[in-house]
Structure 1
């Protein structure tokens, strides 16, 4: 069974706004970062209990973007978000931005979980991680 069958992607539709378009007539690189942030936060809100969404915040620590094709104003775009692993207070995501089956950009990013009250890094409880990563995809060290 593949990783995507065990942990299917979270789909996040993207609206290309006229403000996203640069002087070259396609989406500016900075817009991709906003899209990834919006998609990852939407993933968190879709799976986490309401109390966890209030208790924890996520901040990006790194992004690595590979641009494959330009994106244009009238394109129908979707982000496929996959949580690859959670390690301590960090989460590692892959986000693929697509127009139909055509890959426009691939993004690897890492995020730090922050306690909303203390603003300090916070580990998520195993039960909460399990909502995002079923046992069969969670590394053995995290399940203990």
Structure 2
């Protein structure tokens, strides 16, 4: 039998919509989605990485590609579902889907660079840390 492929652990993040997120058109400004995806990815990291790794590493966004599907408004209940697709060296690739109920309001593909908190140089994560973000498939 071949080796089993691990799957990424989904992480859900409740998106706080503030009155300052609302633009002149009465809905959330597109720039707010950048803050939300950053907050969601960092929350994902902090929720699964050990405390010493969180203290030693920071994440810098390299690229965001956002597809806006529906406008969001003050009072909406938005949940971001974060999925770490892969880690290559010091880079991590994420997909984040933002939903209001079952309705997708935005999809974000992003890449990030892990940096050493002291030197601010790119840093590879140890495999045991990366493994925390993936799980074995369920037994049949």
TM-score (norm 2): 0.91
Structure with bigger RCO (C-alpha 8 Å, 6+ apart): 2
Alignment-derived partner of residue 67 in structure 2? 66
Q: Normalized per residue, which structure has more helix?
A: 1
What's the CA shift for 1:127?
A: 0.7
Could you list the runs of 5+ residues in structure 1 that have no partner in the other structure?
137-144
CA contact (8 A) 2:69 2:105 kept: yes
Q: Deviations over 1:25-46 (max 9, x none)?
A: 0000000000000000000000
Alignment-derived partner of residue 139 in structure 1? none
C-alpha distance in structure 2 between counterparts of 1:123 and 1:7, whole Å: 18
Aligned structure 1 segments of 4 or more residues deviating by more than 2 angstroms? 5-8, 133-136
C-alpha distance in structure 2 between counterparts of 1:90 and 1:11, whole Å: 21
Alignment-derived partner of residue 57 in structure 1? 58
What's the CA shift for 1:135?
A: 6.1
Number of residue equivalences = 132
TM-score (norm 1): 0.88
Could you list the runs of 5+ residues in structure 2 that have no partner in the other structure?
1-5
- Aligned alpha-carbon RMSD (Å): 1.3
C-alpha distance in structure 2 between counterparts of 1:91 and 1:135, whole Å: 20
